Amino acid sequence: MEYAQIALSTLTPGFADPVHDTQAVFRTLLDALSRPGTIGEVGNVLPDVRTARAAFAALLALCDYATPVWLAQPDTALGSALRFHTGAPLVDEPGAAAFAYVHDASALPPIESFTLGTAESPEQAVTLLIRVEALTGGVPVVLSGPGILDTETISPVGLPEHFWRERAALAPLFPCGVDCYLVSGARLIGLPRTTLAKVN
């Protein structure tokens, strides 16, 4: 009993209002994917956490007992919070994950190591949440595709060069692929698999 009380007292809090906060975050996530390149914000729905606030909010809103999560960097506090608040199981291999959180973008493994879905079940592909140093100020990347009128330019800081190269290599596999969120603090950018990206 004493151990359980200590664990609960140190547990990272979840949403203050689970129903409404989950709905608000889900709308933000959906809007970010439907308008690639635009910056969304999850708002003040969570206390300050070591994890990027947008990433933690997204995981709380999207995960449940049927969505395995892979954490690229070991994080006991985050893992405990996810298991407690969502029931999501943590997996040891990226290929087994429905959602993956990469706290250190420079250590992002090859995209091919994740589940890309199948032609029959493309929805089974992984969703990546990648924390970057900033969403602006880096090398410009020009986006085009569904949800973008002409082009949209983003400039995240901290993504490894191989990310864009490997992501482009997945285009011929559509509808298979991966959906991504670049997160920094409480802000995020959605990159659906349908978005083409050209590094300037």
| Residue 76 vs residue 8, higher pLDDT | 76
Strand order in the sheet with 69-71: 39-41, 187-191, 179-184, 127-131, 99-102, 69-71
| Residue 6 vs residue 109, higher pLDDT | 109
Which pLDDT score is estimated for 51? Answer: 64
Instruction: Look at the domain 40-199 and name its fold.
Output: Rossmann fold (3.40.50)
Query: Which residue(s) pair with 153 in the sheet?
Result: 142
pLDDT digits (tens, 9 = 90+) for 114-154: 999 999 999 999 999 999 999 999 999 999 999 999 999 99
**pTM value surpassing 0.75:** yes
Which pLDDT score is estimated for 140? Answer: 96
